[in-house]
């Protein structure tokens, strides 16, 4: 692929993107290049055009979930920004503020940068996009356009191009998932991971335990957990599984690896799927 000659600065609100993609079990630093944010950015803008790639987050919090070494090998510059110490929805850090300050420094100190790429779903970025664009720079935004995305913000009015991360990372089949469909995917990954846990070797995951874990893991009512389990079974996402221990037979369920959607969900979640078919890669 040929690329026009540009000098590109890529600024990533990494914590924002990390947790946004985590809802779909997608790691920004995915093992498959076509789903890997950093490799896709270099591919799309041209390796020789990318002047810098900066990632902002409270990496102390993300340390257990990401490989700093892997990011640095991809020439991603890490910016540690401390959060407010809270958890869940109350958590907030200054990553977006630091990103904006650095963007303005680049604007004034490195004038040869002609293209700014902002990777974030934070609509507080509008003033930054507008300021960069008004200074004659090409401005592109990459964002996750799901139910949390505000169409009324009209981000495309403040930059030259908006890229949907669902398309950019080849995961568009996740964009319009209903709440139940997302729970189906969550349940599949949970059940698969249960069998991958060495502590569960030689065990069978029974229906009652699966339902209890769905309630605990996803914070859903008992009736919703029952509906979810029934959908997994009736949709053939799960298949019966039994083992014999000391002459006793134990019955349970495991993910159906012959189901194309199961293989696709696990592959995009970063698991190596044995016997993957060519049709599994079709979007």
Architecture, CATH, for domain 179-281: Orthogonal Bundle (1.10)
In this structure, are residues 55 and 71 in contact, taking their beta carbons and an 8 Å threshold? yes
Topology given in CATH for the domain delimited by 8-174:
Rossmann fold (3.40.50)
Q: How far apart are CA 51 and CA 42, in angstroms?
A: 10
Give the 3-state secondary structure percentages of the chain, helix then strand then coil, rounded to 5: 45, 20, 35
Strand partners of residue 272: none
| Three-state SS at 82 | coil
How many residues in the chain? 283
Confidence (pTM): 0.82
- Kindly list the averaged pLDDT for each block of 10 residues, start to end, along the chain of length 283: 80 92 92 95 95 92 80 92 58 78 96 95 82 95 82 77 94 87 93 94 93 94 95 96 88 94 92 61 44
Domain boundaries, the chain: 8-174, 179-281
Q: How far apart are CA 143 and CA 141, in angstroms?
A: 6
């Amino acid at each position: 692929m040929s690329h026009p000659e540009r000098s590109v600065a890529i600024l990533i609100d990494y914590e924002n993107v990390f947790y946004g993609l985590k809802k779909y079990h997608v790691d920004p630093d995915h093992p498959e290049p076509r789903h890997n944010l950093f490799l896709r950015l270099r591919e799309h803008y041209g390796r020789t055009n990318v002047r810098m790639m900066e990632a902002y987050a409270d990496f102390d919090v993300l340390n257990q979930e990401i490989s700093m070494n892997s990011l640095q090998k991809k020439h991603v510059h890490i910016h540690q920004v401390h959060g407010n110490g809270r958890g869940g929805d109350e958590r907030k850090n200054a990553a977006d503020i630091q990103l904006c300050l650095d963007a303005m420094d680049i604007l004034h100190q490195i004038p040869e940068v002609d293209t700014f790429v902002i990777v974030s779903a934070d609509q507080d970025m509008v003033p930054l996009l507008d300021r960069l664009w008004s200074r004659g720079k090409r401005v592109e935004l990459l964002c996750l356009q799901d139910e949390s995305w505000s169409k009324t913000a009209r981000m495309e009015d403040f930059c030259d191009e908006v890229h949907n991360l669902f398309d950019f990372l080849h995961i568009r089949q996740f964009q319009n998932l209903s709440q139940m469909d997302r729970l189906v995917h969550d349940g599949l990954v949970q059940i698969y991971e249960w069998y991958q846990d060495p502590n569960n070797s030689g065990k069978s995951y029974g229906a009652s335990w699966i339902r209890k874990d769905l309630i605990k893991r996803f914070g859903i009512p008992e009736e919703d957990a029952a509906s979810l389990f029934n959908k997994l079974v009736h949709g053939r996402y799960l298949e019966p599984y039994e083992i014999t221990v000391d002459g006793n037979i134990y019955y349970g369920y495991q993910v159906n690896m012959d189901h194309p959607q199961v293989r696709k969900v696990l592959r995009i979640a970063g698991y190596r799927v044995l016997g993957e078919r060519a049709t599994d890669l079709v979007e």
